[in-house]
Amino acid sequence: MTVIVTEDDFDLAEIYAKLRTPKSPPSPGAVTVFVGLVREMNNNRPITSMTLEHYPGMTETRLEAIRDQAMQRWPLTGATIVHRVGKLGPNDQIVAVGAASAHRQASFDAANFMMDFLKTEAPFWKSEDTGDGAEWVSARDSDDTAKRRW
């Protein structure tokens, strides 16, 4: 499990177990896993559902590249990106990013880095439905700012 794009929900315990106990040594001393969820409100409007579109082929290519960059930049024992597509409801899991390392700082930083790059480079698009029609979510300048700190 390194990079997965799927319509299915994911099991956090499974992601953690693979990072905690890799198939080959060394074992890590720290694992960071981040999970992103569908918000129940956005811009003060309740969301009934969210649909995630993506660019099959490019999505996996970009996510692999982001993971590879993290593996090269930090001394990681493992790294995983799982992202869902299709129709999701409030509080559903959207994305999980995990990084394992000998010490905590590298695992925190690598997970943060992968999320910041995923947000600005991975070709996913969210459409939010509030009950009276679906709207494409606009990209945030703050995501570009977050990426630049790396």
Partner 1 sequence: MKIRYFAWLREHIGASSETLSFDPSWVSVADLVAELKTKSDGHAKALSDMTLVRVAVNYDYVDLDHTLSDGDEVAFFPPVTGG
Residue from 52, 70, 99, 110 binding partner 1 (CB under 8 A) = 52
| 139 scored as a contact of partner 1 (CB under 8 A) | yes
Q: Which of residues 62-101 bind partner 1 (CB under 8 A)?
A: 62, 83, 94-95
- Contact assessment for residue 67 and residue 98, using Cβ atoms and an 8 Å cutoff: no
Nearer to partner 1, 5 or 30 (CB): 5
Residue from 54, 75, 90, 93 binding partner 1 (CB under 8 A) = 54
The structure tokens listed for 9 are 């929900």
At 1, which amino acid appears?
M
The structure tokens listed for 85 are 């597509």
Q: Which of residues 98-137 bind partner 1 (CB under 8 A)?
A: 115, 118-127, 136-137
For residues 70-84, b (16+ Cβ closer than 10 Å) or e, as one string?
bbeebebbbbbbbbb
Residue 92 C-beta: closest distance to partner 1, Å: 14
Calculate Rg over the CA atoms of the chain. 16
Q: Which residues pair with 124 in a beta bridge?
A: 54
Residue 61 C-beta: closest distance to partner 1, Å: 5
| 42 scored as a contact of partner 1 (CB under 8 A) | no
User: Which of 63, 53, 36 lies closest to 121, judged by CA?
Assistant: 63
The structure tokens listed for 145 are 């700012």
Nearer to partner 1, 74 or 124 (CB): 124
Q: Do the bridges between strand 41-42 and strand 124-129 make them parallel or antiparallel, or are there none, so unpaired?
A: unpaired
Which listed range, 10-18, 20-28, 47-55, 66-74, lies at the site for partner 1 (CB under 8 A)?
Answer: 47-55
* Residues that bind partner 1 in the complex, under the rule CB under 8 A: 36, 52-55, 57-58, 61-62, 83, 94-95, 115, 118-127, 136-139
